[in-house]
Amino acid sequence: MSKLSVENVSRQFPAPRGGAPVPALLPVDLTVADNDFLVLLGPSGCGKSTLLRLIAGLDRPTTGRILLDGRPVSAPGPDRGMVFQSYTLFPWLTVADNIAFGLREKGLDEASVKPIISDWLERIGLAGFGNHYPKQLSGGMQQRTAIARALATDPAILLLDEPFGALDNQTRGLMQEMLLSIWEKQKKTVIFVTHDIEEAVFLASRVIVMTARPGRIKAEIAIDLAHPRHYTVKTSSEFSALKARLTEEIRSEALLAAHV
């Protein structure tokens, strides 16, 4: 059985003033295996974030169904950890308390929570920042905390919606390396949304290319780069070939989206 199954899932939104519904996502069929790092790649507005929100249970499909471990997805749940592009930490909580939020919601006692907090602070390189508040952190530090908060409860799947899109290039590269290192050690099932081709190639085990709006799956490309995956792989001929292939797949879609 697949970890996640998306079956004939589409999404239409009501038009203003009673017009025809606006299709955001055409029927999609997709399976995600356990331990997969799947990247959804496509131009802005192609429906990739819509699909991720449906998987998260933050929205309901117009047609079709989504199954996680064989169970229908109908609402948000602790089996799915979500990280957004915007910084969504609770500003009144410290870094440690943000990480602990989901654990305490699950009813874990403090004796169980404390070692998990310490472990994740160490993993994300913020061991000395547990008592800091979000406003005292850089954007990259806030997103590291958000990733730790999403993973601390050990969800079945991690969903990330362009989480590094607001970061500068250097910080973005370091965040990609950190996330990939965590995945290589934990082998958590991940679905990651981006419109950045290089980011997709570096992170993914598999890339799903989506068409311009209304979105559908155009291509599926395996990324057979070795692990552990060091940042220097970006200068390799294999990386360049995959990047070129994806560029060709998505270029026409980006041009079409620009003229919609």
State yes or no: cis peptide before 214, omega within 30 of 0. Answer: yes
Is the predicted pLDDT of residue 104 greater than 80, yes or no? yes
Q: Could you tell me what percent of the chain has a pLDDT over 90?
A: 83
pLDDT of residue 260: 56
Q: Look up the pTM and report it.
A: 0.94
User: End of a domain among 104, 122, 154?
Assistant: 154
Task: Please tell me whether residues 131 and 174 are part of one structural domain.
Answer: no
Burial label, 156 (beta-carbon count in 10 A; 0-12, 13-18, 19+): middle
Give the pLDDT confidence score for residue 46 in this predicted structure. Answer: 87
Total tally of structural domains belonging to the chain? 2
Span 161-185, average pLDDT: 93
Residues 192 and 231 in one domain: yes
Q: Assess whether 169 and 145 both reside in one domain.
A: no
Task: Return the sign of the alpha-carbon dihedral for residues 73, 79, 85, 91.
Answer: positive
d(CA 142, CA 88): 8
Print the domain residue range for 237.
4-79+157-258
